[in-house]
């Protein structure tokens, strides 16, 4: 019997007869998740990015500079995060991963909080499929209406709608001169504002999850956000090439982007003009989402709930903008596995509240136990991460010694100074490895795994990685 099945049996006993929690004793949680968001924000030192609302929010909380997802793909990352269970060779590895299919007996974060007296609700993209574990929410997850039948691509310009319906995929970006709430994410923000107003009158602690789609492809955002950036400001990646001595397994043909009209179908680089347009679209989408986040946080303040609400803001994984010749996630590189994580704890929780940069390592299986500790809830045995409340109390706290992302056959260990990736066959045979020394090569351009002076590092990290793999 797996560890999480045992955990659920234990949990079902411990929860019998648990009374609802008193709202005055229990903080709310606002959980804001942003799809495909890399640390491309002013708060992370990216001066070109216009993200005033998130930057202002970050000034009041702890900004984690080394926060890693456990798998760089949407469905799997969210499933792992919301259960606190690491992905394995048979669990939480694909974009279509679902908790209610792959780990039916696992407890979700929102389901557990619901059982502890919280009102839990979801709007926008939280689980990859809104129906995944839907009964664990207090109310049915809310999704924006599908305008024009274009689904998540959400085109508004007639020519792009027609192209999408004709070809299945439209262009990889759009800059329609429309209102914020003409696109999906604006509707999500409006619904979150409404939900916060209702929460104030409910007199029950809440876990409210708000999921934004952008900056996921296609990079569709109102024109005013595109106008925030000029073409001459857009710079392409400094390392648009495969790392020296990296195995071929380290790269992919970025099929997610190739689906879109106007993108080369052969394994060729994206032409510079198109690459600049893509980066421009990504930046515009980030600024668009920043504005939507601002509306939600502003309503939290207006409703008088800020002092009673812990706020998490994070991406579900990173994204490559041409680095290593890659576009999209789907890789073990830092650009795919590292994402923003910003947490604000109300000052009334004086033993926890702090602000500043936290450089210690955290990983997203740590989020579930952290929220339980912050809200005063008992832990459960299924959790494979560790609370990072110590870093919320003191951003200078060390964090974890190592974190462990993985993607398909690639197992990864990242420490303060190094990133080791090893590929294994399904029978356990090592197929290749790469090591990057982040002290001198933060952009991961030269694989030093075979260099003589790094063999002791490789051996040490390999042993740590194998030990972790045996404990999953």
Can the peptide bond before residue 325 be classed as cis, meaning omega within 30 degrees of 0?
A: no
Question: CA 276 from chain center: how many Å?
Answer: 24
Q: Specify which residues 314 forms β-bridges with.
A: 33, 341
Structure tokens at 265: 């179908």
Question: What is the Cα–Cα distance from 155 to 141, expressed in whole angstroms?
Answer: 23
Number of H helices, E strands in the chain: 14, 17
Q: Clarify whether 74 is annotated catalytic.
A: yes
> Hey, is 471 helix, strand or coil?
helix
Element (H, E) at 431: strand 430-437
Q: Are 92 and 66 in contact (CB under 8 A)?
A: no
Q: Where are the alpha helices (DSSP H) in 168-235?
A: 184-202, 223-226
**Listed residue (54, 26, 57, 31) closest to 42, CA to CA:** 54
Question: What is the Cα–Cα distance from 58 to 407, expressed in whole angstroms?
Answer: 30
> Hey, is 150 helix, strand or coil?
coil
Q: Are 288 and 185 in contact (CB under 8 A)?
A: yes
Question: What is the Cα–Cα distance from 384 to 391, expressed in whole angstroms?
Answer: 18
Between CA 374 and CA 380, with CA 375 as vertex, the angle to 5 degrees is: 90
Residues in the chain: 472
Q: Where are the alpha helices (DSSP H) in 321-421?
A: 334-337, 367-374, 389-393
Residue with tokens 């347009």: 277
Residues recognised as catalytic: 74, 128
């Amino acid at each position: 019997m797996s560890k999480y099945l045992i955990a659920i049996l234990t949990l079902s006993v411990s929860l019998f007869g648990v009374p609802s929690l008193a709202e005055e004793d229990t903080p709310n949680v606002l959980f804001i998740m942003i799809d495909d968001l890399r640390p491309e924000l002013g708060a992370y030192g990216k001066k070109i990015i216009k993200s005033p609302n998130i930057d202002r929010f970050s000034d009041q909380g702890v900004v984690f500079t080394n926060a890693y997802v456990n798998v760089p793909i949407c469905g799997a990352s969210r499933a792992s995060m919301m259960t606190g269970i690491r992905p394995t060779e048979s669990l939480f590895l694909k974009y279509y991963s679902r908790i209610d299919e792959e780990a039916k007996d696992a407890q979700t974060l929102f389901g557990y909080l619901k059982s502890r007296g919280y009102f839990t609700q979801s709007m926008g993209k939280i689980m990859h499929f809104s129906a995944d574990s839907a009964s664990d929410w207090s109310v049915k997850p809310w999704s924006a209406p599908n305008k024009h039948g274009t689904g998540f691509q959400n085109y508004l310009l007639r020519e792009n709608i027609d192209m999408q319906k004709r070809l299945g995929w439209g262009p990889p970006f759009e800059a329609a001169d429309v209102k914020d709430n003409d696109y999906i994410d604006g509707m999500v923000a409006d619904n979150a504002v409404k939900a916060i107003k209702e929460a104030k009158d409910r007199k029950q602690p809440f876990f409210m999850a708000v999921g934004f789609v952008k900056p996921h492809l296609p990079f569709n955002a109102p024109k005013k956000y595109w106008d925030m950036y000029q073409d001459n400001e857009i710079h392409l990646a400094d390392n648009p090439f495969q790392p020296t001595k990296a195995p071929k397994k380290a790269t992919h043909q970025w099929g997610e982007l190739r689906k879109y009209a106007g993108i080369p179908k052969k394994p060729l680089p994206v032409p510079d003009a198109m690459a600049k347009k893509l980066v421009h679209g990504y930046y515009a989408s980030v600024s668009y989402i920043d504005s939507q986040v601002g509306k939600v946080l502003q309503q939290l303040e207006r409703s008088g709930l800020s002092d009673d609400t812990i706020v998490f803001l994070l991406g579900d994984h990173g994204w490559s903008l041409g680095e290593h010749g890659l576009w999209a996630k789907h890789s073990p590189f830092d650009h795919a596995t590292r994402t923003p994580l910003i947490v604000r704890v109300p000052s009334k929780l004086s033993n926890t509240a702090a602000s500043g940069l936290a450089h210690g390592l955290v990983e997203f299986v740590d989020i579930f136990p952290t929220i339980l500790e912050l809200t005063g809830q008992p832990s459960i045995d299924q959790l494979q991460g560790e609370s990072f409340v110590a870093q919320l109390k003191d951003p200078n706290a060390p964090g974890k010694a190592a974190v462990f992302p993985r993607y398909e056959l690639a197992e990864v260990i990242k420490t303060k100074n190094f990133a080791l990736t090893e590929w294994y066959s399904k029978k356990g045979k090592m197929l290749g490895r790469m090591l990057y020394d982040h002290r001198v090569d933060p952009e991961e351009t030269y694989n030093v795994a075979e260099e003589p002076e790094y063999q002791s590092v490789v051996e040490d990290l390999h042993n740590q990685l194998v030990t972790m793999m045996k404990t999953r």
